[in-house]
Amino acid sequence: MLFEHARFLAQVSIRAAEELFNLFEEKVSTLEEIPERCPYYDNKYIHQKRYRKLTLGNNLLILFQVVDFKVYVDLIIDARAENKYLW
């Protein structure tokens, strides 16, 4: 999913796409220490208290879960107009 977002962004700016990867790496690496710091993802269509959310830039939302002290990134959502109900 990250590659799809970066590919779209790279059509406008290669540098912006590279910055997206760097930002993703930076944000996700911080989850090693205290992933519980991120709030639960509250959505009536998804099981409560299973996923946590972390914003990536202005338009992307990372959904992840913590299972047995491991962090699993399950979804990266483009949270612009058509997906605002997901926030």
Q: What is the CATH number of the domain that holds 31?
A: 3.30.2310.20
Looking at residue 24, what is its pLDDT? 92
Looking at residue 39, what is its pLDDT? 93
Nearest-10 crossing angle of helices 2-10, 14-29: 150
- Residue range of the domain that includes 18: 2-86
Q: What is the pTM of this model?
A: 0.78
Q: What is the mean pLDDT of residues 25-50?
A: 87
Tell me the CA distances in angstroms from 75 to 11, 15, 40, 43, one per residue in order. Answer: 22, 23, 14, 14
Give 47's pLDDT tier (boundaries 50, 70, 90).
confident
Q: What percent of the chain has pLDDT over 90?
A: 44
Q: Answer yes or no: is pLDDT of 84 > 70.
A: no
Domains in the chain, number:
1
